[in-house]
Chains A and B, each alone.
Chain A
Amino acid sequence: MTLFGACRIMAELSIRILIPIFEFQEGLFPPFSNPAGWFADWLATDGGLDTMAWFYAVNIALMVGMTNLILVIHLERKIAARIQDRRGPMLSFRSLREVGEDLSGNAPSWKFKENYSGIGILQNVADGIKAFTKELIIPTKADRFLFTMGPIIFISSSVFLLALFPLSDRFAASSAPAGLMVIMAAFSIAPIGILTSGWASNNKYSMIGGMRSAAQLMSYEIPLLLSMAGVFLVAGSFDPVTIVEQQRESTWLFGLPMWNIIPQFIGFVVFMVCILAEVERVPFDLPEAEAELVEGWTTEYSGIRFMFFLMAEYIRGFAGAAVATILFLGGWAGPWPVPPEIWFLIKVYLIIIFWIFIRWSVPRIRTDQILVLGWKKLLPLSLINILIVIFMVEIYPYFTAIVNLPEVF
C-alpha cells in the first residue's frame, strides 16, 4: 500500500464523518448555510476525495520533514560541539526532572540535576520561543513589500521541496513523472528570495550578499544539472521511483548492487560539490559570509523571519541530501529486514553528517574562486561524466552485441 493509498482511505473515512456534519449545517440557516451543502456535495465527488487525500499526504510529508529538521539541527549542534571539543547543548527533559523540588526559601524554585546529563533537545524549543517572541524589525528605508516577500519566497519554496521527494516507492506524497526536475526547479526559486530580500533590506552588505547568491547560482546550477543528466540517461526517466528501481535492479560483480555512485563517480563528486553550493553550506555560504558581510542578506532580518531563513536552509540541506541519495546512493534500496524508509533516512543522514563534518573542517571559499571552480573544473568534469554514461549506455551494449565482451555494466 502506498502512502497516497493510505491517505485515500483516511480521506474516505473522514469524508463519511464530514458529509453529515456539513449537511446538518446546510439545514440550519438556509440560504446562508448553503455553502456548507455545496462543500458536502463537492466532498462526495472524486475530486473532493482526492483533495482530502492530498491534504493528508502533504501534511504527513510536512510533519516528517519538520521532525527531520529538528533532528538535523540538533545533530549539527552536537557534532559541531564534539568536533570543537565542547559539550554542546545539554538541557533536555531528562535534566529537568527535579523541577519544583524546593519551592520555599530564597533558593531557586526549580533546579537542574547534578550534571546536565541531557542530550540538549530543549535547546531547539528555547530557540523557537526566542525567535517567535522577538520583535520583527523593518528598516525605515527598506522596501516593505519585498522585504516581507523575501522570507516567504524562501521558506515556501523550501517547504514545497518536502512534498516532492519520496521516502520510498510507497511513502511518497507525490510521485510526478518529472519529479526530480520539479525538485531542482523548486531548489532554484530560493536564490530569487535571497536576491529580493538582499535588495529590499536597503543595506550594502545585504545587497552584496544577494548579488553573490545570483553569481553563485550561475556557476553551480549548470554543472549540477549536467551531472544529474547522467543518471537520467541511465534510468531513462525523471521519476525518482524509476531511478531507484533501475539502481536496485542493476547488479555488479558477485551480484553486488551497482548504484550510480560506482559507474558515475565523477558525476557524484560534481553533484555533491554543487548541491553543497545549492544548499549554501560552508564552504559555499558566500551570501551570508559573516566575516565580511556581517550576515549577508539576513543582516536586517530579526525574529521569526530570521528563523525562517535558518529553518529553510536546513530543510534545503535535508532535501539536497535526499536528492543525492535518490540519484547516486540507490535511494531506499537495501537488505530486507530494515524497512526501505529507514534505509533511505540512514543514507540521507550519513550524507548530512558528512556535510556537517565538512562544514566544521574547512574555511569559506571566495566568490571568484567558486566561479572558477564551477566553470573551469566542475563543468568539464560533468561533461566527461556524461561522455562516460553515453559510452556505457549506448556504445558499450552496441559493441557487446557484435563482439562477445563480458557483461560488466
Chain B
Amino acid sequence: MSEKSELGIMDIFVNPMKVTMKQFFKSTFGKPATVMYPLEKRDPPPTYRGMNAIIWDLCIGCGICAEVCPNRCLKMKPVELSDEEHDRAWYGSHLAKRKHKPERPAINFGHCMFCGFCEDYCPTGAMTMTDFYEMADTSREGLIYPARTMKVDLEDLPQLPLTNYMMESPVLDIDPCIGCSKCVDNCPTNCIIMDVGPHDKTLKSGKLRNVENPYFDYTLCIGCSVCVKVCPADCLHMEPTSNSSLSGLTTEESPTEA
C-alpha cells in the first residue's frame, strides 16, 4: 500500500493525466470501444438466448414448455395443421388419431424473460432459441407471437431420442380407473396402451365388466403429465423416475447443445 506521503501536490493531475492522455491518443488514432449499434452489430455467441423458434416438424405439442415457463408467458394454442404437415410431423401419425386439434406453443414476449427453460426441457428439441433480439414493438399485442410466426422448417431433422427432463413419470392408481382411455388419446408420444386390467366393475345395468387399464411405456414417456391433467377420475399421479437410464442427462455432453 502506497503511503500518503508518496503523493505530492503535482499528483493532483500528473498521474491521472498520464492515463487519460494515453487513452486519448489510443482512441483517437485507433478504434474506440463504441459499437455503433444500428450500423454495426456485435455477433452473439451460438448459445445466445434470443427469440424462440419452433422446429415445426419436431414439435409434438406435449406442452412441457408451457409447464416449465416460470412467467407463464407461453400457452398451448390449437393450431390447424395441413395434410402435408401431418405427414411430415415426427409423431404425426399419432396426432392424426387424436380427436381434438393439435396444440402448438404461442409466446407473449412482453412477459418472456428469455430464461431458456422451454428450450432446455423440450423433449424433442423442437423449441430452440435464435440469436435474434430486435423484437421491439409499438403495441403490447404485437409482442404476442402465435406459433405459426415462430415456425422453422429444417431440411434434415435432427432426430433426437425422446428424453424425460422432467424426471417424473405417471403412475396409475388402479382402483379408481374407469378405463376411459382419455390418456391414450392425449398422450403426445403414444406411450400408453389400454389393456385388460385386473378388475371387474359393476355397471349401472348390473353387468360385470372387465375395465381396461392404461399401461405405460416408460422408455417413451417424456413426463409431460398431460395424462394426469386429462384423467377424469384422478387415478394418475406423477412420481420421480426410478430408472435413471431413461434420462438423457447421463450422457457426457448435454443434449441441449446438439
Contact = CB atoms under 8 A, between A and B. Distances in A.
Interface of A: 79, 81-87, 90, 114-116, 283, 357-358, 360-362, 377
A361 B13 CA distance: 7
Contacts of B33: 85-86
Nearest to B15: A361
B36 A361 contact: no
Interface stretch (B24-32, B49-57, B89-97): B24-32
Among A83, A86, A116, the one with the most B-chain Cβ atoms within 10 Å of its Cβ is A83
B76 to A, nearest CB: 34
A361 B32 contact: no
B34 interface: yes
Interface in B1-46: 9, 12-13, 16-17, 19-21, 23-24, 26-28, 32-34, 36, 39
A83 B23 CA distance: 6
Contacts of B27: 82-83, 85-86
Interface of B: 9, 12-13, 16-17, 19-21, 23-24, 26-28, 32-34, 36, 39
Nearest to B38: A112
A80 B24 CA distance: 9
A361 B24 contact: no
14 contacts: A81-B32, A82-B28, A82-B32, A85-B33, A86-B27, A86-B32, A87-B34, A87-B36, A90-B36, A114-B39, A116-B39, A362-B12, A362-B13, A362-B16
A81 to B, nearest CB: 8
Contact of A358 (B17, B19, B32, B36): B17
A116 B36 contact: yes
Contacts of A79: 24
A381 B16 CA distance: 24
Contact of B24 (A82, A116, A283): A82
Given A357-B17, A357-B20, A358-B17, A85 B32 contact: yes
A361 B19 contact: yes
B34 A361 contact: no
A85 B16 CA distance: 15
Contacts of A116: 36, 39
Nearest to A114: B39
A195 to B, nearest CB: 28
Contacts of A360: 20
B24 A83 contact: yes
Contacts of A87: 32, 34, 36
A287 to B, nearest CB: 20
A361 B28 contact: no
A82 to B, nearest CB: 5
Sorted from nearest, which 3 A-B pairs have the closest CB atoms? A361-B16, A361-B20, A85-B33
A227 to B, nearest CB: 15
Nearest to B17: A361
Contacts of A377: 9
Contact of A83 (B13, B20, B39): B20
Nearest to A115: B39
B36 to A, nearest CB: 7
Contacts of B36: 87, 90, 115-116
Contacts of B39: 114-116
Contacts of B23: 82-85
A90 B28 CA distance: 14
Contacts of A358: 13, 17
Contact of B34 (A83, A86, A114, A357): A86
A353 to B, nearest CB: 10
B105 to A, nearest CB: 30
Contacts of B16: 361-362
A17 to B, nearest CB: 50
A73 to B, nearest CB: 18
